[in-house]
């Protein structure tokens, strides 16, 4: 598993050029690139530039629209539904989050459900847009079905992540960004490459038996909801993933459950789809819609300080605040560059050749 | 563990009379009783009438105010902060949830954070208030610290439940009501009575080692966040419990983390408390603030039908929809009565003698 390190700006220029080549406007290409690479910076390698050729294949298969007319199709003072016009989620999601922020400015909070979109990168980017406005940001999305609800043999939910970003004062922001499964698909891929087994509670086989085979998804198995099994609370992970699905798609008119379109363009689309594209859900809450921002930040700092200074279990350095590892990773990779597996580099080089762009 | 069965109305009359004896108005006593007994009806026995004498002891210790002036102290069109004036959470919470519903009627959604309250019974009661208005209801609360964050020896979070109630059409509502721990305290008590060990991932000992001793909390151990340990995603359960704490208390001005007042009146109050009482957070979203209610309900029914009819794992009857078990329990107990352990009956009889009320 050898890898090569690329400066952020090099990957940025390359990725933006690819998005422009498929027809994105310059500003859309820049936005999509910024969102996509935020995953690489924050260490969520599975959701970053490694997926660029996947987005291009969606466009080639006419499943993604490079020049979408993203627009509000319904609204109230604190809510909206956005139609992504089959655009890249990397562009649709920041539009919709901005609508949520604008509504929060007016009436305290804003809540936006999105239909007819595609994969939006990491939830964290969108939720964190709220922070500079002294708002709490919330982002979630559904995704194609890889997860079996408790007691189910069938895969009916995506890994359906939730991000909640909360501003602080002197301390860095609290940013919880989590898939509602025990482990995300990216972690399985790492174990596959290392030829290692998974811990218990991550996957089941196609009959619904517990498994530790990281290749299980390819033979009809499923990821498991956070908790793993009933005895360890998987019905809670299932319920959380279900809430994400319903807020993202049943509220907006997108597809839900087993009908969510797959990311890989070679996978056939589901039949009898009940909605349009995939769905997202965003929220923004002004902290001063509850109490003065300075008071909120003072107590948020106190909360963070108390948790970070808790006595750690022997062998662990300290209790982490959600967002700590990703923030450190981002600072480090902005300086030292982003490592890509050789297989990813080669894929990008091939993609570049198609469009006459050098990595 | 012998038990006796009581008709709902008998427990209702008794409980309401007790609340009136400590000084609640007739309507507050009726509300508190309805909320408290909704736990017994729904099978959450640990949060129901078994806690009545605990509420009375809070009042005796001057930690709960039977005649509170519950009021809005800050608001915007879509938000409010409610001061519970140290009242029973059983009364404060329905007031605050009604504020959220009223705001949703006006601007699409309503979000209310509450300070200076006490334990509010089950989250489900409050979230489900939204259903009859064709709204999605959300309820959460912090609670005294019994849970150790990932890598922490110290207990810094409560079991911090989240409930999301979503209306449907022909199908019964989706009601996910979950503690953000692997298992709630009530489940430990059941194992204690049976002298059984816990599964892995439920508790740790006072040094932070994994344990299967259900008595661990009494000797300085802790409940574990949903996920159990880092490898199984406990950092996600910790993050969710943290979000509940921050929304309930840092937004409102209540106490948070290790400073949340304990429910048992014999436990000393924390020192240097940074806020007032315990905190809750409520949300209401009109479904027609996103799409016509009939469309939403049609697709919600389709969602529920698809999940319920999924192929079950061998040995399991069917895939459940969140809320199914509690709804069946409620229908059954309304008809057949509510079973109380003899120890609970005896506690209630003693409590009644103090106030001259017969169970």
Q: How far is B290 from chain A (nearest CA, A)?
A: 6
What digits encode the pLDDT tens for the residues A91-147?
A: 999 999 999 999 999 999 999 999 999 999 999 999 999 999 999 999 999 999 999
Neighbours of B342 (CB within 10 A): 11
Nearest by CB: B227 against A209, A226, A274: A226
Q: Has residue A29 got a pLDDT over 90?
A: yes
Nearest by CB: A291 against B207, B242, B251: B251
- Compute the distance between CA of residue B116 and CA of residue B11 in angstroms, rounded to an integer: 28
| Percentage of chain A exceeding pLDDT 70 | 100
| Domains of chain B and any CATH numbers | 3-292+325-355 (3.30.1370.60)
How buried is residue A132: exposed, middle or buried, by Cβ count under 10 Å (0-12/13-18/19+)? exposed
C-beta of residue A143 within 8 angstroms of C-beta of residue A51: no
pLDDT at residue B95, as a whole number: 98
- 359 residues of chain B, pLDDT tens digit each: 689 999 999 999 999 999 999 999 999 999 999 999 999 999 999 999 999 999 999 999 999 999 999 999 999 999 999 999 999 999 999 999 999 999 999 999 999 999 999 999 999 999 999 999 999 999 999 999 999 999 999 999 999 999 999 999 999 999 999 999 999 888 898 899 889 999 999 999 999 999 999 999 999 999 999 999 999 999 999 999 999 999 999 999 999 999 999 999 999 999 999 999 999 999 999 999 999 999 999 999 999 999 999 999 999 999 999 999 999 999 999 999 999 999 999 999 999 999 999 99
Average pLDDT over chain A, rounded to an integer:
97
Contacts of A13 (CB under 8 A, 6+ apart): none
Nearest by CB: A306 against B174, B207, B257: B257
Backbone region of residue B119 per phi and psi (left: phi > 0; alpha: psi in -120 to 50; beta: other values): beta
For the CA atoms of B244, B249, B251, B252, what is the dihedral angle to 10 degrees? 140
B257–A156: do the CB atoms touch at under 8 Å? no
A289–B76: do the CB atoms touch at under 8 Å? yes
What average pLDDT score do residues A306-333 get?
A: 97
Nearest by CB: A178 against B236, B287, B322: B236
- Compute the distance between CA of residue B134 and CA of residue B295 in angstroms, rounded to an integer: 12
pLDDT at residue B186, as a whole number: 83
Please report residues of A whose CB lies closer than 8 A to that of B291: 74, 81, 251-253
Q: How far is A226 from chain B (nearest CA, A)?
A: 6
B311–A153: do the CB atoms touch at under 8 Å? yes
Interface probe with A: pick from B75, B96, B105, B108, most Cβ of A within 10 Å: B108
Read out DSSP for A214-262? TTGGGGT-EE-BTTSSGGGTHHHHHHHHHHHHIIIIITTT---GGGSPP
Q: How far is B298 from chain A (nearest CA, A)?
A: 9
**In degrees rounded to 5, what are phi and psi of residue B336?**
-95, -10
pLDDT at residue B2, as a whole number: 87
Q: Which residue, A200, A218, A225, is CA-closest to B320?
A: A225
Q: How far is B282 from chain A (nearest CA, A)?
A: 13
C-beta of residue A70 within 8 angstroms of C-beta of residue A92: yes
B151–A320: do the CB atoms touch at under 8 Å? yes
Q: How far is B63 from chain A (nearest CA, A)?
A: 23
What average pLDDT score do residues A26-32 get?
A: 98
Range B1-25 burial, b when 16+ CB lie within 10 A, else e: eeeeebebeebbebbbbbbbbbebe
- Compute the distance between CA of residue A14 and CA of residue A189 in angstroms, rounded to an integer: 25
pLDDT at residue A1, as a whole number: 62
Q: Which residue, A353, A341, A253, is CA-closest to A6?
A: A341
What digits encode the pLDDT tens for the residues A227-270?
A: 999 999 999 999 999 999 999 999 999 999 999 999 999 999 99
SS3 category, A90: helix
Q: How confident is the model at residue A73 (pLDDT cuts 50, 70, 90)?
A: very high
What digits encode the pLDDT tens for the residues A216-233?
A: 999 999 999 999 999 999
């Amino acid at each position: 598993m050898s890898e090569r390190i690329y400066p952020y700006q090099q990957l940025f220029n390359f990725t933006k050029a690819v998005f422009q080549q498929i027809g994105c406007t310059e500003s859309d290409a820049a936005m999509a690139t910024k969102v996509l690479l935020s995953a690489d910076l924050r260490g969520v390698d599975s959701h970053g530039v490694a997926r660029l050729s996947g987005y291009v294949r969606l466009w080639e298969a006419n499943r993604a629209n490079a020049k979408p007319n993203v627009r509000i199709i319904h609204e109230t003072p604190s809510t909206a539904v956005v139609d992504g016009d089959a655009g890249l989620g990397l562009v649709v999601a920041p539009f919709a989050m901005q609508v949520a922020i604008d509504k929060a400015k007016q009436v305290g909070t804003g809540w936006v459900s999105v239909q007819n979109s595609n994969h939006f990168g990491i939830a964290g980017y969108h939720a964190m847009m709220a922070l500079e406005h002294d708002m709490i940001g919330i982002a979630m999305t559904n995704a194609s079905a890889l997860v079996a609800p408790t007691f189910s043999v069938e895969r009916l939910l995506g890994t359906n992540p939730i991000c909640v970003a909360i501003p602080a004062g002197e301390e860095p922001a609290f940013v919880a960004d989590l898939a509602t499964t025990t482990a995300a698909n990216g972690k399985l891929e790492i174990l596959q490459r290392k030829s290692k087994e998974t811990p218990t509670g991550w996957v089941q086989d196609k009959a619904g038996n517990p498994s530790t085979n990281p290749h299980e998804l390819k033979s009809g198995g499923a990821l498991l909801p956070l908790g793993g099994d009933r005895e360890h609370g998987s019905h809670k992970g299932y319920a959380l993933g279900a809430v994400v699905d319903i807020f993202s798609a049943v509220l907006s008119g997108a597809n839900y459950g087993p009908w969510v379109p797959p990311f890989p363009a070679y996978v056939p689309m589901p039949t009898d789809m009940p909605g349009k594209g995939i769905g997202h859900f965003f929220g923004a809450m002004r902290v001063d819609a509850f109490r003065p921002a300075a008071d909120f930040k003072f107590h948020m700092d106190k909360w963070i300080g108390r948790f970070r200074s808790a006595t750690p279990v022997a062998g662990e350095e300290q209790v982490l605040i959600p967002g700590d590892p990703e923030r450190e990773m981002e600072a480090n990779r902005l300086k030292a560059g982003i490592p890509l597996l050789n297989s990813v580099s080669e894929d990008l080089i091939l993609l570049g050749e198609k469009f006459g762009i050098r990595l």
